[in-house]
Structure 1
């Protein structure tokens, strides 16, 4: 958790640098974009993901499922080196030397290695691991694990120049990736932990309503990127479909809020 707080501090250097960049180089400078990417990268890959992992380790230890010291050291160094090196993936829009592709790809691989260490530790005693959470919480945990694994794989493939060029040319892919991280990995992890600690009442139907809205919007965002890449028109009713998918998310959150503010309300 201490590492997560350090990343929060480090991420703030990006916004602080924006003033100097604007004054000296202007908003069209690549350094302006780099400052924003620096902030975003260390905010969600550093602060948010590491804070969520810290909470997860706390839960594991409270159930005597702590990772061995050796495994934890390997996890700690892999995840932190991975976060630092994978920042170079955010610089690929400048078409830098291939060395930065290599460093960014190494960072993505290190994060995948850390993820596999954590997954192995959690699944060592499957019965005990399953008993830690309620049935709904186990569904949430599996969903988050899949989303996190896909997020890390997406990071890895952008280390290849052709995919890096695709992501930087068609920003819908970048937007889809950020939505995947914030609305998927981070938000669903918060649902899981808040429900686990008794701070949030969450029904299965509300969760699936949110998940359906999330998946519809993700599919449509990535579809728009693919359509632009292949130079094909969007299907008729695309924006209406996007609106329907998007509105499902705030509706699910409204129901969630209603059920938590009204103790006697019937869960949707």
Structure 2
């Protein structure tokens, strides 16, 4: 049985996603129309930091606590409820501080507190992971993800050190940002998400641990894909390219081996609409790994990632298209969200908003190559942001409004 507290915390995550969508809509509004009361840079910092802490990390913390729940007595689960609460509290403080003052003392304090919370969660989970069965498929993915989350904190600490000393080196500054993003997007987020899916995947793909080892061994070398502009030594560049190819190959082989089994399992599911979220998330992850491998070509990497619209499209592909859609599907498939007709419509509307947003960003990125503006692109992106905001707010409402037992649908059984 899933502890009630964890159910409520999972649903609270939707409130966080609603706030992330609200800030996204505000930024799009400022670009498309005049909105002088708020500073765009402050909104951007608040939006990105809270998306990482209040939504993605929150879901992963809840998911990892859910994995441990059957093996821990109630009194030992309290520390996870406390850590999840603290992460959300500090995330909210960070959201407000970044909005009001930008990257200054108070926001840095709250950001630092979220890092300390991540460290505490990692220590607690790794200690309690010994109570999981030795063959538990999620254990290596979860532990690696948590360690990479802690490792990523060196990036923000480096930025804080440079800002405090007012001695900013451009290469080191950019390197710290890319370091942090790599170990969040490709480390903590990827391995944490795979930990949630691993128990189901391992039943159908016994060799899953082999693929874990490949992604684990290549996570550090692929960091340098984000640092090709510093002109790596030839030997290091060779290792980086080999790691990127190894990751792409491993993912393709994993899809080839597992896809027939996954498709057969999903086709038997009574909740076919939920599987759309998993299919779309899988496609987004595939595109992410493919683009990552392509970026190993230095000239192409500088050409593509030198355009801000392309970078924004890539980041949203991963954050929204891959992880957010997977978590929503995961929550529905495990009965963590109540399934009603309204909830289903809102969820599918959110998915359509993700697709529309990505198509507009991609179009804007392609147009940037030929230096041609796209008519009304900012207005279209604002519409996409409104679709995302409206759908997730309505979905959150369907979960927070008290439902009688008669109105609660049975959870969809997809195997997770």
Same fold (TM over 0.5): yes
Q: Paired residue for 1:206, among 346, 361, 367?
A: 346
Q: Return the alpha-carbon distance in structure 2 between the equivalents of residues 208 and 102 of structure 1.
A: 43
Query: Are residue 34 (structure 1) and residue 171 (structure 2) matched?
Result: no
Q: How does 1:211-222 map to 2 (within 5 A)?
A: 211-222=351-362
Task: Give the match for residue 247 of structure 2.
Answer: 111
Q: Are the counterparts in 1 of residues 266 and 272 from structure 2 also a CA contact under 8 Å?
A: no
Q: Return the alpha-carbon distance in structure 2 between the equivalents of residues 259 and 47 of structure 1.
A: 30
Query: Are residue 161 (structure 1) and residue 302 (structure 2) matched?
Result: no
Task: Give the match for residue 248 of structure 1.
Answer: 387
Q: Return the alpha-carbon distance in structure 1 between the equivalents of residues 195 and 300 of structure 2.
A: 32
Q: Paired residue for 1:230, among 357, 370, 374?
A: 370
Task: Give the match for residue 90 of structure 1.
Answer: 226
Cα drift, residue 200 of structure 1: 1.5
The unaligned stretches of length 5 or more in structure 2 are: 1-141, 409-416
Q: Are the counterparts in 1 of residues 201 and 208 from structure 2 also a CA contact under 8 Å?
A: no
* CA radius of gyration, larger in: 2
Instruction: Single out whichever of 138-147 and 217-226 deviates more from structure 2.
Output: 217-226
Q: Return the alpha-carbon distance in structure 1 between the equivalents of residues 365 and 234 of structure 2.
A: 25
Q: Deviations over 1:24-65 (max 9, x none)?
A: 68334211111111111101111111111111012335xx43
Instruction: Supply the RMSD in Å over aligned alpha carbons.
Output: 2.5
- Measured at CA, do residues 227 and 129 of structure 1 come closer, stay the same or move farther in structure 2, by a change above 3 Å? closer
- Measured at CA, do residues 226 and 127 of structure 1 come closer, stay the same or move farther in structure 2, by a change above 3 Å? closer
Q: Are the counterparts in 2 of residues 195 and 201 from structure 1 also a CA contact under 8 Å?
A: yes
Query: Are residue 141 (structure 1) and residue 278 (structure 2) matched?
Result: yes
Cα drift, residue 166 of structure 1: 1.4
Task: Give the match for residue 8 of structure 1.
Answer: 149
- Measured at CA, do residues 136 and 101 of structure 1 come closer, stay the same or move farther in structure 2, by a change above 3 Å? farther
Q: Are the counterparts in 2 of residues 85 and 107 from structure 1 also a CA contact under 8 Å?
A: yes
Cα drift, residue 210 of structure 1: 1.2
Cα drift, residue 246 of structure 1: 1.1
Instruction: Single out whichever of 78-87 and 29-38 deviates more from structure 2.
Output: 78-87
Q: Are the counterparts in 2 of residues 76 and 114 from structure 1 also a CA contact under 8 Å?
A: no
Q: Deviations over 1:108-136 (max 9, x none)?
A: 22222332343245335453464467312
Q: Are the counterparts in 1 of residues 347 and 392 from structure 2 also a CA contact under 8 Å?
A: no
Q: Deviations over 1:57-104 (max 9, x none)?
A: 12335xx43x32xx2342022111232221111102334455555433
Task: Give the match for residue 327 of structure 2.
Answer: 190
Q: Return the alpha-carbon distance in structure 2 between the equivalents of residues 140 and 85 of structure 1.
A: 30
Cα drift, residue 181 of structure 1: 0.5
Task: Give the match for residue 72 of structure 1.
Answer: 208
Q: Return the alpha-carbon distance in structure 1 between the equivalents of residues 364 and 252 of structure 2.
A: 32
- Measured at CA, do residues 3 and 240 of structure 1 come closer, stay the same or move farther in structure 2, by a change above 3 Å? same
Cα drift, residue 263 of structure 1: 4.3
Q: Paired residue for 1:262, among 388, 392, 401?
A: 401
Structure 2 counterpart SS, 1:253: helix
Instruction: Single out whichever of 32-41 and 10-19 deviates more from structure 2.
Output: 10-19
Task: Give the match for residue 53 of structure 1.
Answer: 194
Cα drift, residue 157 of structure 1: 1.1
Aligned residue pairs total: 261
Structure 2 counterpart SS, 1:240: helix
The unaligned stretches of length 5 or more in structure 1 are: none
